[in-house]
Structures are given as structure tokens and as C-alpha cells.
Structure 1
């Protein structure tokens, strides 16, 4: 039986793509050396990204053979702290990898706007919004990252349910979950919230089935009403699902990566809110359960006014440090890192849904075809619109909600205050 490989040396965090790396030595951490560009990321040490990095380096070397490129793979659990130190000193890498959303926007002042350098790539690449702030693009998207609801078709069949017709409403979804548990013993959801990340996937994966389209648009635009019935209902569902026994045991002591996804892979849960790319995604699940057994379903409708959609944004992207000696050269490296050839390699080896809209990923299996088909009507993920500080607070409060030490109203009050302060 195939066993899931353990991740070592790095705490993997949702929001984008992941990988293993080691901290850089002091002699290899700074950019700006003559004839050298230094890149910080957490991907270049990942075996599944090897062909992607090699292709990007080859593309750049063909155009700039006199320039050496040095990739420094940092451990993700320390990455943004290390980056913060570099930003404070104004010394560090020339090119940096970012998750889309708050992690980049909180550091936009340390980056160069890229639209003038990468104008010819703007149409080819999707996901720019997640890497933009104040009307400027600060990183070029490499992948698209989203949060589909995956389900195990084999468990549906064992429970006498139609695997091609998952429930469209929350009440029917609960009925299907009950039937699956009775017939197979599998839980409804695989969920890990040890680091407080599970709530992010829950919010984005299920939110479009609860909020009205206007509420959704307002949230993304920053006009968030944390006391609205729709927002409150999402957090009530978070608590109710746990109290009803829909989740695996010990959610707050279960790591999302890779324990949550291992539960789904083992057939011990019928559904999981996963990722589109790289880990906890269609390719990963298909290797354990068979591609034919992986389904993708829209968020079950809780509110009749809701319009379920695929939540996705730009996943990861490379930006240029404002202190780099040669901005145009560094931007050219970013262009190579987001080139079609490099991203085709990333898709083929890692299963990344590339930001390059010219790459056809629809032939990778039924679940991938379903995801790709939903991209044109997809909408930004709800959690990506929040600041890093608010996400951290939400993680802590989500654990307290499951343990019963805080109420939904108390949690939403604190989140509203944090969001307004940000």
C-alpha cells in the first residue's frame, strides 16, 4: 500500500504551494553581488519543483549567460520572519517568493511595481489581483490556488448515493454525510486545525454557499460586516459541524499538512476542502484513491440567495526587492520564473494549476477538468482578502470556538476590531 511521504524540516502552511527547504547560510543570503541574482523562496528545495526551477534558470541563462542565479530555499515556518529582517535592514535577496494576499500586501512597500517591466505578460498570466496593492502589481503569479471541496466517489457508491450527483444544499449534504457514515464508518469531513489554518479553508470553501453575491463582493472589497447574519452563519457552521461529529477526532490536535489529507487519502472521511495545486490537491489524492474516485463539488447552498463558486486567487508569485541593484534584470528573472515552459514543467511534475492561461490542464483527470471548468466563473477566496494579523487571530479563535472557550459573537467582535485596525 502506498504511504504518504512525510514533510521534514518545514512547517507547511496553506494559501499556496509548499515545499521543503533549508535555511541559508550568511554568505548566501544577500543579493546585489556583481553578476549574481539571489532568490529567496521555499519551493526550490522541493523535489517536485526541480524541473520547474531548472527550466526557469535555463530560460534566464539563455538571455543572460553572464549572470549567475542563486536560489536559497528557506524553511516556510521562518520564511516571513527572515524576510521581515531583510526588509528592515534593506539588504537581502533580489527576488522573493510570496503567497498571494496579505503576506504580500503587508510588505508591498519593500517591492517594486512590475507592470512596466512585465507588461507583455499581464494578459497571459491570471491571478494578478492577489499580488496587487494600491493599483500596482508587486509579484508575477506562478500558480493559481483555490479551495475546492473534494469528495470520495467510492464512499458515495458504498453508501448507495450517486457519486456524480453530490448534494446541492446543506440539508441534503448532511443527509448524505449521515448515510456515508452509517454505511462506511467514514466521517463527513477530514479537518486539521492544529495550527489554526483549517478555518481559512472552511471560510473560503463553504462561504460562497452562505453569503449573497453582494455580501461576497463587499467582503472582497474590504467592506466586511462581521456581524451580518451570513458571516455569523459561517462561523456557526464551524462549531455545529464539530458538535455534530462531522469531523475526524481531535481537530485541534490534527495538523492540516499532512495529517488532514492523510485521513481523506485513507478513506476515513468522505470530503475535504483542499487545494488546487501541489499538495492536498487532485493529483495527490488521485495517487492514493485513484483519479476516477476524486470528485469536486460546489459549496452546498445554505442561504437561498447564495451563488456557489470556486474560490481561487493567484497562489504564489515572485516579486522584486526595491533595493536590488538592477531592477530590470531582476524583473527578467521573474519573467523566466513565470514563463510558459517553466510553468508547464511545474504542472506536469507537481500538479500545479499554472497561472499561465495558455497551458491546457483539462486532460489530467475528471476532477482537474471540473476545477479548470470553474475557473472562468470563480471568485477570490474569502480568507485571502484578510490581513496576516487577522488571519492569525482567526486561527486562534477558531481553536477556541471548537473547544468552547469563546462564543461565535465574541470571536466575531474580536475579528471585526482586528480587521478594522488593519
Structure 2
């Protein structure tokens, strides 16, 4: 029997952002499907709106984009929308170069948290213009900086831990009782490595994103609630016992063989997630919306798909699902602010989001939308949303996050010590 998920319970969550999510598409199209210049540009006429994003991950995402275009067209039937898809792995570099050269788009898609907050100075605030949406949507803190709002959240995002029940059973583990402590998780990983041909966790770290999934995915079981909240508020100390412990756990899990071969040369999106879908890894820290989420994994694993909360590592911790706001469009062209606001409104159109939630498996920001599904992991994820906590990595500055990515790759290979990594991160935090 299907159960109906109601997202109203998450309306009061303190939500921030996601990094590293989204598919890449090298092609570009306007509203009629014709090719456009990859450089975008905001010098077009007032009846044109140039928008950058990183493309549609699948047919459901493409249908959502079409619905957004249709909602915008109802408000502005004479405006031509030109959507330019840029590759995600180069997206922010290309966007920064275009903005500096004065050829940036009118609007651009941003991950919430670090990615949009660190670029707030280049964006047009829309605090008053979308104030009427505040009570309807969850996830606003992801797109707020310095008292101003720069976008509206489209989806809720987070880092659930998924597992393959069939592989658990093959390893002699209880598939209905996933590990609840770090020691139990370590024992489970050893059993999986000993008794199956799968890796314990699927990992793609070519872009260096693995350690941010690790930090945010396991963080609530490592840091006390006071440490966690201080971290989110910017009061973090990389030399503290538990911050150093995160880096040590990351290095140790690699040394213990938890991950697939060649993790540092494997793309996270979507090669590592394909390993999990194919049954080549027993667990993965995935997403709850966008891509690599419960609906996509269910297509491959069906009833074998399980969801588990972060394990408890230290005493005095409070386990919480890491979840925040997701993605949203920011306005770069002051001269087209009104059109930009209406595009942002179209992206959170109730009917567009509702259709995408059903077809694409998204957990939307619109708290009035229900999600009707019989996928157990989706129900379990939503049940944990009221007690969720923001993603730890999104509180980091952009340079600090880039350094964490590089050090994460080096730690995975044993090319840097935990002490050296701690010292570098502490210096970057300043």
C-alpha cells in the first residue's frame, strides 16, 4: 500500500545548501530547442532572458524545465528564454570568467550555501520581491546572506546513507537492522569485504567531493550538538579532537579498503552511484533529490534498497539526517530584475514542482505538496526531516572547501598525514 508523504513538517527547518549535485550537459537550447552560444551574455534585448544551468539529468528534469518555461511564458509571452547548459565540473569557473568579462547571463543556477553565498556580491537581492513565498517554501537559509535573499529554494537536499539489503544478507548481516554505531559499521564493512565481491561503500572522488559527503553524512554522530551548531555558525576549529577525528576516520576507512578501486579517478556523478545501483557496492552516501536519490536507486534495487541514519561514533551526540535547501536561480543582471524574479517564481510554481516530485523523485521545498510513493526509503527519509541538521561542509568558505577537496584526495591515497591536513585547514580557516 502506498503512503502519502507530506512535507509540511519540514517548514520550520534550518536549511542551507548542497554542493556537488546535478548532471552536466554540453548542449544548449532556447525555449524552442534551437542551439545557442555557450557564452550566454546579458547584452540582449529586454525581450530576451539568458539563463545558465548545468543541464537536465533525465527526462523528468527536462519535463520540469519545460513546465517552468510554460509558467514563465504565461507571465511573459513575448520574452524569449535562452537556456545555456554548462558542464557541471567547470560550471562555476566558466560562470566566474563570464561575469568578469561582462558576458555573464541574466540568471544562473546555483547550489545553495557556499556556492551562492560566496558570490552574493555579484547577485541582485530579491528579499522584498519574493517575501510572499516565505511561508510556502522551506529551505530559505541556503539562499540568504547578510540579511538579504538571493533566490528561492526549489528542492530540499541532503545526504542519506543507502544500502543494499541483498548484499547485507550475502555478508551474513541483518538487512533490517543496519549498523547504528561506527564500530558496527566497521564490522559490517569487513564482513562485506570478506564475504562478497562488492566494496563496502561506492565512492567517486575525482572531483574531491567525497570528503564533503563523508563530513556531512557522518557528522552528527561525531560532533556534539553544541559543536555542530558552532560549526554551522562559523566557529569551527580544525585542530579540535572531533574535527581531526573526521579526517582520521576518512583516511582509516580508505586504508581499511572500504572503497572501490580507483576512487580518486572515479567521477562521483554518476559513475560512483552507478556502482551502487549495479550492486558493486553495499552502501553509498547519496542524495535525496536531484540525482542519485531513492527513486533512481529503487529503479535498480527495488525492495533491496535500504536507508540508514548516520551511525553514532562518540558519546554525547544526537543523530540527525543531514538535510538542507537545494538549488535556486540568482539574478546577475539588475536591468532584468523583474523578469528574473518572475523566472524564479516559475521555478517554484506549485504545479511544476508537484509534477516533478512524482516523476523525478524530488522532495520539494513547497510544503503544501504531498509525495505519494510506496518506496520505503523515501518514507523513512521524510520521517527524519523534522530533526534534520544543515550540511557541515556548506558552512565552509569557498577556498576552505576547495582545500578540503584536495586534501581529501591526498588523504585517500596516503599522500598527506592527518596532522598536515589539519594544519592546512586550520590555516585556511584563519
1:113-152 correspondence to structure 2 within 5 Å: 113-152=125-164
**C-alpha separation between the residues in 1 aligned to 2:341 and 2:408?**
39
Which of 7, 11, 16 aligns to 2:21? It is 16
CA root-mean-square deviation: 2.0
Q: Residue 21 of structure 1 aligns to a residue in which SS?
A: coil
Quick check: 2:160–2:287 contact (8 Å CA) kept in 1?
Answer: yes
Q: TM-score, normalised by structure 2?
A: 0.89
Q: Residue 371 of structure 2 aligns to a residue in which SS?
A: coil
Q: Post-superposition shift, 1:52?
A: 0.7
- Quick one: higher RCO (CA 8 Å, sep 6+), 1 or 2? 2
Q: Post-superposition shift, 1:313?
A: 1.7
**C-alpha separation between the residues in 2 aligned to 1:252 and 1:28?**
33
Sort the Cα spacing of 1:160 and 1:352 in 2 relative to 1 into closer, same or farther, 3 A.
same
Q: Which runs of 4+ in 1 moved over 4 A?
A: none
Residue in 2 that maps onto 1:88: 100
Q: Post-superposition shift, 1:389?
A: 1.6
Q: Post-superposition shift, 1:212?
A: 0.6
Q: Post-superposition shift, 1:403?
A: 2.1
Q: Post-superposition shift, 1:78?
A: 2.8
Provide, for residues 283-306 of structure 1, a one-character-per-residue CA deviation record: whole Å limited to 9, x for no partner.
Answer: 22111111x211111111110111
124-133 vs 257-266, greater mean Cα deviation? 257-266
**C-alpha separation between the residues in 2 aligned to 1:70 and 1:202?**
37
Which of 119, 141, 149 aligns to 1:107? It is 119
Q: Post-superposition shift, 1:245?
A: 1.6
Quick check: 2:46–2:336 contact (8 Å CA) kept in 1?
Answer: no
Matched, 1:75 2:113: no
Residue in 2 that maps onto 1:316: 327
Matched, 1:416 2:421: no
Quick check: 1:22–1:45 contact (8 Å CA) kept in 2?
Answer: no
Which of 300, 306, 326 aligns to 2:311? It is 300
Q: Post-superposition shift, 1:233?
A: 0.8
Sort the Cα spacing of 1:415 and 1:65 in 2 relative to 1 into closer, same or farther, 3 A.
same
Residue in 1 that maps onto 2:392: 382
Residue in 1 that maps onto 2:73: 61
**C-alpha separation between the residues in 1 aligned to 2:226 and 2:309?**
19
Residue in 1 that maps onto 2:404: 394
Residue in 1 that maps onto 2:341: 331
Residue in 1 that maps onto 2:14: none
Matched, 1:176 2:208: no
Quick check: 2:129–2:341 contact (8 Å CA) kept in 1?
Answer: yes
Sort the Cα spacing of 1:194 and 1:330 in 2 relative to 1 into closer, same or farther, 3 A.
closer
Residue in 2 that maps onto 1:35: 47
Gapped regions of structure 2 (runs ≥ 5): 1-17, 29-35
Which of 366, 369, 378 aligns to 1:368? It is 378
Q: Residue 402 of structure 2 aligns to a residue in which SS?
A: helix
Quick check: 1:94–1:320 contact (8 Å CA) kept in 2?
Answer: yes
